[in-house]
């Protein structure tokens, strides 16, 4: 089999797929790209058993048909060093020897049989959603950072997605922080939900972000989900289990409400956090009147920092402590100029929401559990 393609187009597709390849694959075949050539289409696939992703492209010229797997690392390394030129790839169907021809250069590498490459799962009893690519990308972007890494609770290592007749919801939590992102402009007559693992989310979100509002077809059952968009297809194994009742942990009554410029708040926390304990990363918020005092100290090294900020505040004077790393993460994932911090008590979760949300169809809420204040 033989085909000619643009080097940059091929490289772009290979790089999009390469994130699926694991670093410690149990099967050597999983270190390869699977190339399948038909009379008018080239399909390239990669897999780590849990996630399988493929892209289809139309070559400039095709001779013959066939299948071969090609070592991914070697192919990517050589492709990165070509300018935008036509690449001829010639595969001997008998020996599976692969030859790349670009200008005056000829490069040979050994291909492998495709027999052992994982087969795609057969999906039955599926539900189907159609979601605009930009909505899906934004939902993943706003939530995936809050997923957990606790192997004892694997379902919290993914993003919970639920569609109802009123909205589409994305939720992520690690028990210390929680993010709930809703879209009121995406809904379905059929209520359904599943938990997406973190790896395929990271694989999808960068590609989806470039596709504007093109529709993504999501087909899923209890064990797998497939995403079809543009020239790509991604199929992944879902996380199985019951997701925590996230609504139950969101405090409903929060009389103490602080409104502040987001960037000013974020910059101040970054500065003060430099002096916080490396074990707890604690920053103390002391709120009185219309100002907030940020304090951090590391008693082991006699380091201390204080910074005073103006804010708009209604409620009782209070002191509360938060993990500064988590707080910075959250503030960094808002787009609004101002944020509102709602609190009820020093031992209850704080709620962050945007003040000036440009998109009325969006509803973003972030929750952070406080840390116990030092005496």
pLDDT at 35: 98
Fold designation for 250-368: DNA Polymerase III; Chain A, domain 2 (3.10.150)
Q: How many whole angstroms from its chain centre is CA 222? A: 21
Q: What pLDDT score was predicted for residue 18?
A: 96
The span from the CA of 323 to the CA of 285, in Å, is 11
Q: Largest alpha-carbon pair distance within the chain?
A: 80
Same fold, 2-110 and 250-368: yes
Identify the burial level of 111 via C-beta atoms within 10 angstroms of its C-beta, where 0-12 means exposed, 13-18 middle and 19 or more buried.
Answer: buried
What pLDDT, on a 0 to 100 scale, did the predictor assign at position 375?
56
Domain 127-247 is of which CATH architecture? Roll (3.10)
CATH superfamily label, 2-110: DNA Polymerase III, subunit A, domain 2 (3.10.150.10)
CB 307 within 8 A of CB 294: yes
Domain residue ranges in the chain? 2-110, 127-247, 250-368
Q: What is the pLDDT along the chain (375 residues), one digit of tens a residue?
A: 999 999 999 999 999 999 999 888 889 999 999 999 999 999 999 999 999 999 999 999 999 999 999 999 999 999 999 999 999 999 999 999 999 999 899 999 999 999 999 998 889 999 999 999 999 999 999 999 999 998 889 999 999 999 999 999 999 999 999 999 999 999 998 899 999 999 999 999 989 988 888 999 999 999 999 999 999 999 999 999 999 999 999 999 999 999 999 999 999 999 999 999 999 999 999 999 999 999 999 988 889 999 999 999 999 999 999 999 999 999 999 999 999 999 999 999 999 999 988 889 999 999 999 998 865
From the number of C-beta atoms within 10 Å of its C-beta (0-12, 13-18, 19+), residue 238 rates as: buried
pTM for this one?
0.94
User: 115: exposed, middle or buried (C-beta count within 10 Å: 0-12, 13-18, 19+)?
Assistant: exposed
CB 32 within 8 A of CB 19: no
pLDDT of the residue at 280: 92
Model pLDDT, residue 70: 98
DSSP 123: P
């Amino acid at each position: 089999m033989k085909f000619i393609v643009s080097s940059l187009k091929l490289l772009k597709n290979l790089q999009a797929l390469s994130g699926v390849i694991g670093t410690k694959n149990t099967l050597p075949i999983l270190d390869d790209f699977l190339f399948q050539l038909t009379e008018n289409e080239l399909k390239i696939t990669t897999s780590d058993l849990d996630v399988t992703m493929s892209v289809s492209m139309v070559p400039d010229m095709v001779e013959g048909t066939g299948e071969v797997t090609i070592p991914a690392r070697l192919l990517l390394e050589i492709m990165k060093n070509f300018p935008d030129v036509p690449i001829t790839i010639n595969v001997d169907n008998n020996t599976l020897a692969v030859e790349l021809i670009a200008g005056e250069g000829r490069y040979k590498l050994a291909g492998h049989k495709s027999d052992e490459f994982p087969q795609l799962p057969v999906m039955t009893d599926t539900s189907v959603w159609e979601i605009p690519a930009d909505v899906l990308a934004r939902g993943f972007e706003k939530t995936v950072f809050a997923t957990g890494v606790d192997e004892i609770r694997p379902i919290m290592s993914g993003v919970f997605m639920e569609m109802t007749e009123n909205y589409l919801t994305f939720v992520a939590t690690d028990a210390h922080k929680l993010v709930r992102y809703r879209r009121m402009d995406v809904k379905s007559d059929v209520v359904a939900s599943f938990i997406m693992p973190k790896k395929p989310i990271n694989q999808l979100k960068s590609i989806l972000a470039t596709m504007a509002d093109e529709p993504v077809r999501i087909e899923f059952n209890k064990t797998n989900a497939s995403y079809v968009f543009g020239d790509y297809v991604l199929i992944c194994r879902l996380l199985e289990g019951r997701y925590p009742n996230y609504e139950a942990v969101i405090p409903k009554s929060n009389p103490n409400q602080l409104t502040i410029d987001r960037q000013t708040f974020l910059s101040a926390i970054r500065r003060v956090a430099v002096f916080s304990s490396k074990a707890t990363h604690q920053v103390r918020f002391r709120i009185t009147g219309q100002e907030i005092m940020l304090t951090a100290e590391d008693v082991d090294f006699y380091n201390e920092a204080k910074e005073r900020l103006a804010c708009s505040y209604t409620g009782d004077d209070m002191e509360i402590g938060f993990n500064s790393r988590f707080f910075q993460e959250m503030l960094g994932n808002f787009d609004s100029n101002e944020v509102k911090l709602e609190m009820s008590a020093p031992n209850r979760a704080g709620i962050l929401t945007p003040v000036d949300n440009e998109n009325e169809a969006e509803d973003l809420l972030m929750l952070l559990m406080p840390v116990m204040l030092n005496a």
